Amino acid sequence: MEAVAAIERDAELMVRVREGDDTSFALLLQRHRGPVVHFLFRMVQNQAVSEELGQEVFLRVYRSRATYEPSAKFTTWLFRIATHLALNWIRDGKKEKGHESLSEESADGLERQVPDRLPNVEQELVHDVKRREVRNAIEALPAKQRAAILMHKYEELEYSQIAKALACSESAVKSLLFRAYETLRGRLAHLA
Amino acid sequence: MICLTREKKGAEILMDYCAGALHPAQAAEFEKHIEACGDCRQLVQAQSDVWKNLDQWTPEPVSPDFDMRLYARIAREQATPAWRQWWWRVSSPLVTLSVWKPAVSLAVAGAVLAVAFVVRIPGLNDGGSQIRPEKVDIEQVEKTLDDLDILTPVPQGPKS
């Protein structure tokens, strides 16, 4: 019920943006900025690039405001643009340009600050190793499988939404997800 | 009975169960089954482990100036003339390859067709070859007439 209300709210806000209400655009940005940039970050694994692509997503939404028709879920449309941009970026081979890691030094030469959420250093290190293994395992997946699994696991999109975002059928999405999870079960088995 | 190894939709059930998206009645039935089925229990355990491991990967927060940069881009775009906005969009590196790939293919196909059409137009290139036989014919006729002149016996004068 809450989800339905949220979907309707998104469409309503976008209709208002179409009518020239920039406050509604700010609200949409506030609601979806995080999920979109996080999805892009997990896709391209580079913070700066994910934010750049995220800006492009919202810029395209803003440019398309005049022609917006609430025929599909707003989030589906948003993730379709984000997926398209991320897959293009990966396909064009821009991945090699820079790869950030939480354990590596940042651009200004300072060690990246990791929030102190765990009680001791040892646990923090174990957590860091696990996180890196997860990142590597996801990075090794084919781009479409990666996109599907990220939308399913982290964004909790429905099969039909993922299918629209990837421009394929629902059964193709289920097949992509099954293969991706099967690969991850094998690659991450040692972490269990 | 829901058994992942026998059920046609086994993969979907496994994914939905671990995502907590399976219908409660179906989930209860499945839980009853995995108590007795070792294979399904093993699969569920492995999938749950993947699910937990994926939870370890929390992304970094979005930069605080994200919105400010976006609004600056929007303002910049709105301040530029429409034709330049259009040019930026079509020449943007984020879209060029996917958008232009079919356009380039179509342009090349069109160029090939145009060249083929020009080459095959009757009267442009074929015209020259049509004129030449005519010239040859006239020359031949003239030469033949000359030859005939040579062959024509010179009238002899009266015998003296």
Specify the DSSP class assigned to residue B95: T
- The residue that leads in pLDDT, B108 or A153, is A153
pLDDT 10s per residue in chain B (160 long)?
688 878 778 888 999 999 999 999 999 999 999 998 999 999 999 999 999 999 988 888 999 999 999 999 999 988 877 777 777 666 655 444 444 566 777 888 888 888 887 776 655 555 545 555 555 577 777 777 777 777 666 655 555 4
pTM score, whole prediction:
0.71
What confidence score (pLDDT) does residue A107 get?
Answer: 41
What confidence score (pLDDT) does residue A165 get?
Answer: 94
The structure tokens listed for A25 are: 């655009």
Contacts of B70 in chain A (CB under 8 A): 29, 55, 58-59
User: B89: closest CA among A117, A189, A60, A126?
Assistant: A60
B51 in reach of chain A (CB within 8 A): yes
What mean pLDDT comes out for the span A136-165? 95
ipTM above 0.85?
A: no
What is the distance between the alpha carbons of residues A19 and A15, in angstroms, rounded to a whole number?
Answer: 6
Share the mean pLDDT of chain A: 85
Contact present, A87 and B16 (Cβ < 8 Å): no
Top-ranked range on mean pLDDT: pick from A6-10, A183-187, B130-134:
A183-187
What is the distance between the alpha carbons of residues B127 and A166, in angstroms, rounded to a whole number?
Answer: 56
- Cα angle at B1 between A189 and B6, to 5 degrees? 55
In this complex, which of A26, A59, A184 lies closest to B50 when CB atoms are compared?
Answer: A184
The Cβ-side half-sphere exposure at A55, using a 13 Å CA radius, reads 18
A-B Cβ pairs (cutoff 8 Å, strict): 97
What mean pLDDT comes out for the span A31-44? 96
Longest dimension (CA), chain A: 55
A2-36 as b/e, with b when 16 or more CB fall inside 10 Å?
eeeeeeeebbebbebbbeeeeebbebbbebbbebb
Q: Is A64 helix (H, G, I), strand (E, B) or coil?
A: helix
Longest dimension (CA), chain B: 145
What confidence score (pLDDT) does residue A172 get?
Answer: 95
User: What confidence category does residue A106 fall into, taking pLDDT thresholds of 50, 70 and 90?
Assistant: very low
What confidence score (pLDDT) does residue B123 get?
Answer: 56
Amino acid at A74: F
How many percent of chain A have pLDDT more than 70?
83
Any bridge partners for residue B37, and if so which?
none
In this complex, which of A58, A85, A130 lies closest to B53 when CB atoms are compared?
Answer: A130
In this complex, which of A55, A89, A156 lies closest to B70 when CB atoms are compared?
Answer: A55
What confidence score (pLDDT) does residue A127 get?
Answer: 83
What mean pLDDT comes out for the span A95-102? 48
What confidence score (pLDDT) does residue B84 get?
Answer: 73
Contacts of A37 in chain B (CB under 8 A): 59, 62, 66
Specify the DSSP class assigned to residue B65: T
Contact present, A154 and A162 (Cβ < 8 Å): no
User: What confidence category does residue A32 fall into, taking pLDDT thresholds of 50, 70 and 90?
Assistant: very high
